[in-house]
Amino acid sequence: MEYYNYIKSLHLIFVVTWFAGLFYEPRLFIYHIEASKKSSPAKEILEKQLKVMSRRLWYIITWPSAILATIFAIWLLILMPEWLYQSWMLIKIGFILLLFAYHLKTHQMFLELQRDEIRYSSNFMRIWNEGATLFLFAIVFLAIVKSAIHWIFMVLGTLGLIVFLMLAIKLYKRWRAKSVADEN
């Protein structure tokens, strides 16, 4: 098992780059949605550039990272099959399945925006953008702490984080509305 740490390192590197993509892609969605409300020629220029940036991020970084993180995770489970009998790992796998559902829904949103189909508001996307943060917290705490009692604190902490993020989004929305009003 001399190569265990190399596999674990590669797994973590690709988890980090996967989450980087999941953090930034919805931010590009927000910019795209807001660009769609601008007048010509800014609208067309921005939409074209944001589509290119989004496509490159999604297909060159995010999807390959998700696939490679999964491959190295499976490899780690092959090396350490006893993890599959531990409750923390089963719960972590459940969160990872939810993360893939989040990833696939983000992919659907990506495809819609590539076709200039705007179904969501920029405010919705700001909230959606925090989904990856919640998954990151849950998965990392499970991987590090591994204890059932700490699991309860993690759930309470995650709920607290959700409340904090919702308040931060509301405050940002108010601040932004005030800034726009001050500019006019």
104-141 pLDDT per residue, tens: 999 999 999 999 999 999 989 988 998 998 899 888 88
Lowest mean pLDDT among 61-65, 98-102, 173-177: 173-177
Please write the tens of the pLDDT for every residue from 15-32.
999 999 999 999 999 999
The pTM assigned to this predicted structure is: 0.82
Rg (CA), the chain: 19
pLDDT of residue 91: 86
- Would you state the torsion angle of the CA atoms of residues 46, 47, 50, 52, taken in this order, to the nearest 10 degrees? -120
Positive/negative CA dihedral, 28, 32, 38, 43: positive
Positive/negative CA dihedral, 3, 4, 9, 12: positive
Residue pair 113/54 in contact by the 8 Å Cβ criterion? yes
pLDDT of residue 144: 86
Q: If pLDDT is split at 50, 70 and 90, which confidence band does 171 have?
A: confident
Would you report the helix, strand and coil content of the chain in percent, each value rounded to 5?
Answer: 90, 0, 10
The per-residue pLDDT of the chain, averaged, comes to: 90
pLDDT of residue 87: 85
pLDDT of residue 149: 55
d(CA 110, CA 57): 11
Q: How distant, in Å, are the alpha carbons of 9, 140, 175, 181 from that of 12? A: 5, 11, 36, 44
Please write the tens of the pLDDT for every residue from 36-66.
999 999 999 999 999 999 999 999 999 999 9
pLDDT of residue 148: 54
Residue pair 132/19 in contact by the 8 Å Cβ criterion? yes
Collapsing DSSP to helix, strand or coil, 107 comes out as helix
CA end-to-end distance (rounded Å), the chain:
64
